[in-house]
Amino acid sequence: MPSASLSLSVLSQAPSEMAVALATQLREGTKKAHTMAENTGFVTCFLKGVVDKASYRRLVADLFFVYSAMEEEIGKLKGHPVVGPIASDALNRRATLEADLAFYFGADWRQQIQPTPGAQSYVARLHQVAEQTPELLVGHHYTRYIGDLSGGQILKNIAQKAMNLGEHDGLRFYEFDAIPDEKAFKANYRETLDRLPIDQATADRIVAEANHAFHLNMTMFQELEGNLVAAIGKVLFGFLTRRQRTGSTEVVAA
């Protein structure tokens, strides 16, 4: 498969009688979970420009384990009728995370990092789904990659300013060099989701799994809060997180 394109063979097919508007169902069906994730203490502080480098690099390490598992399993399933069409090497994050880990930890970063319990649970779930019900990986794929692509530049700018980093130093994760037109890519992705050969029952299960993916992400974020509080103090942390914010997906569709 070309790295910067989705499955053209699927996009060229007429929608089947079982085709469902999965893209819309995923967007609408995960709004509450998305808002909950954005209101975790770590993310709330991040979006307000308060980022502790020690906590952040721990998150980068966790994401390395998560994306390594996801990309390993997706790579095995490129011929799968449901998973294969959304697979795109242009989205892969493992190499960018490796570059960021080398920046934060040094050349021997592999010897320094371990997944947190939350990351371990996330990785275990990805492997379990891939083995037992691979079509549910679509929910994980959508939750992570499209979220990264949609908010990447904003999050990169926040992290760069908050940690006083260079343009690319420790920020490669947010850069999708193989996707020159993100808007067109996301439109193509949504069309591909809507043409997947699934019925409504399967769509419901994919949406449920996407919500579970959000909760797995929330667990990882919550594990970082102790370090963040230690870095910025309880008073500032409480001030920054005292009010719930409206989730980004509740304001503007992705």
Cβ neighbours of residue 52 closer than 8 Å, sequence gap 6 or more: 227, 228, 231, 232
**Which pLDDT value is given to residue 137?**
98
Residue 16 phi/psi, 5-degree rounding, is -80, 170
**Which pLDDT value is given to residue 241?**
75
Q: What is the pLDDT of residues 234-251, one digit of tens each?
A: 667 677 777 665 555 544
Overall size of the chain counted in residues = 254
Classify residue 73 by its DSSP letter: H
**Which pLDDT value is given to residue 70?**
98
8 A C-beta contact, residue 101 and residue 170:
no
Residue 10 phi/psi, 5-degree rounding, is -70, -40
In the predicted model, is pLDDT for residue 12 greater than 70?
no
Q: What is the pLDDT of residues 43-81, one digit of tens each?
A: 888 888 888 888 899 999 999 999 999 999 999 999 999
Q: Which secondary-structure segment (H or E) carries 209?
A: helix 200-223
Q: Which secondary-structure segment (H or E) carries 166?
A: none
**Which pLDDT value is given to residue 214?**
96
**Which pLDDT value is given to residue 50?**
84
Coil, strand or helix: which one is 88? coil
CA distances (Å), 232 to each of 12, 61, 79, 236, 242, in order? 53, 21, 48, 6, 15
Superfamily of domain 18-244: Heme oxygenase-like (1.20.910.10)
Token pair listed for 57: 């690099």
CA distances (Å), 238 to each of 158, 233, 241, in order? 20, 9, 5
Return the percent helix, strand and coil in the chain, to nearest 5: 70, 0, 30
Cβ neighbours of residue 32 closer than 8 Å, sequence gap 6 or more: 247
Region label for 133, one of left (φ > 0), alpha (ψ between -120 and 50) or beta (otherwise): beta
With pLDDT > 90 as the criterion, what percentage of the chain qualifies? Answer: 67
Q: Where do the domains of the chain lie?
A: 18-244
pTM reported for the whole predicted model: 0.85
CA nearest 126: which of 211, 54, 213? 213
